[in-house]
Structure 1
């Protein structure tokens, strides 16, 4: 469990970061070779920004938030459009977007902070730290580690179809293939709760959001967060009338009633609180809206809300050369951005919390996000150029729009956009 400089777990982390045999080309060398000219910028060009409102109307994307990191600093941001197309409420610099799966790399960073501090061993089975009551009695579950979770090699499903009644079991032996899994992230979140004694949001505020100046970031819900958060909207091809279901907003607004009754904010809830609240929330919600405690608990895999500027502050930590004592070590950052599992014939690789792609313009790391088909987001980083781009939207066609932003701003046309 203790990651001292001499411990086997610590040596393994450093060894993994250094193994060029795990990468098509070693990340730091490729990154240095691909460094772009200082005159290059990832700020979208003026002619593209002038045309952006037309693209938003055509794709029925009411709002977009963008932010750019250059030389390790947030240098530009822009929020356009409407937080709610029905009420015509505009976005502002303090508007919060639902980051969806962009939640995962941020959580991964905090887990790696704990690894650097010796609180968690990335290669110790999670079941030795915490065993969820819904975990199936299966030998493969005894092998799942935090490293497996962060590189998506647990073999677990993304989400169970019937979490109230279905046990969690891997489809394959951990470490043998890539299976994208929100369930695995949520299990690791429960491990973090066990090790820290804190709720997810309390740990994230202490470890990352506070020190990084991410004051508009939270995995949870409150009246203030509700008032500042965008609503999601249908994709352009979806002709159904009215606003689509606002899944997290509806679930958490009901949970807020119980939190107010108890005098315990949702930001302080542990899994046990959500389990105790479940029947009370189900009594005041339509059948099927809230099915298990995970529906009303902060979720490390999906429930982060930020401004684009705040998410860019996180991206700056990934590409900035200088570091402060509270940040992950440089060796750990290299591990995040180094292929962690060798699966033949893949066009993209898995680091710790990030996808990696070797492009004609040099290697990049990235992640996308999609919640409920009504929030679509993307974050892209270039370690060599110390640059990053964040694009957050509030509509089902936002993925079409963010691809145009990425292409116009960076020149990258990623394989992930087509596969």
Structure 2
């Protein structure tokens, strides 16, 4: 059975929740904006120290400010054994930060009329995603992207897939919801290869699709994400960051196959660089005019509009609400969009101020990466970038 180890940030077992909560805690004093040059100088000193203290082998970061890429740099190594250095072009697993890119592609399909945001996905699917539950007929793309489907994060043998509440009424972070939507889109837009299949959690059979090609044509290539993919290739492999455990030891790395991408691509399968992802973040924070690939203002605004408020015990990364593909922090200085990610050997975070058209993306290749990217000192240095 093929299975990737996903430590999705909604899971308390991932260990990111206590750290993520600091993003809105006292270290954020909302002091007056400092110069970006000063911020970069502080980061160049702070990041190597935090990496040493927390045993994080490699990190890549990019800052965008006022609608432009301001700075990018790599720190540490992409492989603890070979000591190859991290650069802005080093390819990391984005983990759940992948969801934002998929959400954008989905909304463009909604804009084009391929699917409708509020039409039940069961009307497009060739077979029921969950059997024996009439609530399946209520689940729409909006519910998936706002994590209100009622589906759990990942099915297991002990917890078979089920709908835990009426769709649209509550929040429950769900990788399975994203897989459901991805499978519907593959049915509508792609080609399934029934000769290339694998088994996953709870005996789930998944066959290869052209998801990688679909995402490259629809988002990655048009947005200048030249080094991003869902499948390995020779160029990507030369720049790949390798995963490491909490002791800094290399973890085994399995090359993803097409059924893996069909199962996990939308929820956490993006392979990208901080430079590439910064290009995508700029398309969200400082959108260019709508075209074949870019959203209209109506759909762009809907993507960033809060869809559901989060209760105190539901809050991820200090977010107050969830939009379509993005978590939202409602600050006095304006909304901040964000998403974190975590799976075996990788941790990631992106945040952005809609008002300032500024933000950052940071990717790490260690299980301790969250101890850097959610560290109070790291947050305090970066916070002025997000003040409107």
Select which of 315, 318, 336 maps to 1:364: 336
1:159 to 154, 159, 173: 154
More moved, 107-116 vs 190-199: 190-199
| Correspondent of 2:351 among 380, 387, 391 | 380
Measured at CA, do residues 134 and 72 of structure 1 come closer, stay the same or move farther in structure 2, by a change above 3 Å?
same
Listed as ranges, the matches of 1:180-195 within 5 Å are 180-195=173-188
User: Which structure would you say has the larger Rg?
Assistant: 1
In 1, distance between residues paired with 2:133 and 2:173? Answer: 20
Report how far residue 185 of structure 1 moved.
0.3
Residue 39 of structure 2 aligns to a residue whose secondary structure is: coil
Structure 1 residue 171 and structure 2 residue 175: aligned?
A: no
Normalising by structure 1, report the TM-score: 0.73
State the distance in 2 between where 1:43 and 1:108 align. Answer: 34
Question: How far apart, in 2, do the equivalents of 1:129 and 1:54 lie?
Answer: 51
Offset, 1:40: 5.0
- TM-superposition CA deviations, 1:200-258 (whole Å, max 9, x none): 1111111111111111111223344334221111225x9xxx433x4xx3252xx4xxx
Structure 1 position 402 matched with structure 2 position 373: yes
Measured after TM superposition, the shift of residue 323 of structure 1 is 2.1
For residue 88 of structure 1, report the CA deviation from its aligned partner: 1.5
Tell me how large the CA RMSD over aligned residues is. Answer: 2.7
Distance 1:308 1:94 in 2: 7
Q: TM (normalized to structure 2)?
A: 0.78
Contact 2:336-2:386 at 8 Å conserved across structures: no
- Aligned residue number for residue 298 of structure 2: 331
Q: Distance in 2 between matches of 1:117 and 1:201?
A: 20
Change (3 A) 1:45 1:401: same
The alpha carbon displacement at 1:361 in A equals 3.6
Give aligned pairs, total: 331
5+ residue gaps, structure 2: 1-29, 192-209
User: Following superposition of structure 1 onto structure 2, how do residues 24-63 of structure 1 map, counting pairs within 5 Å?
Assistant: 40-41=35-36, 44-63=39-58
Q: 1:76-131: CA deviations, max 9, x gaps?
A: 11111111112222223331011000000110000001111111101111111115
Gaps (5+ residues) in structure 1? Answer: 1-33, 256-265, 267-273, 275-293, 415-419
After the TM superposition, list the runs of 4 or more consecutive aligned residues in structure 1 that deviate by more than 4 angstroms: 131-134, 294-298, 342-347
Aligned match of 1:310: 276
Q: CA deviation at 1:66?
A: 0.5
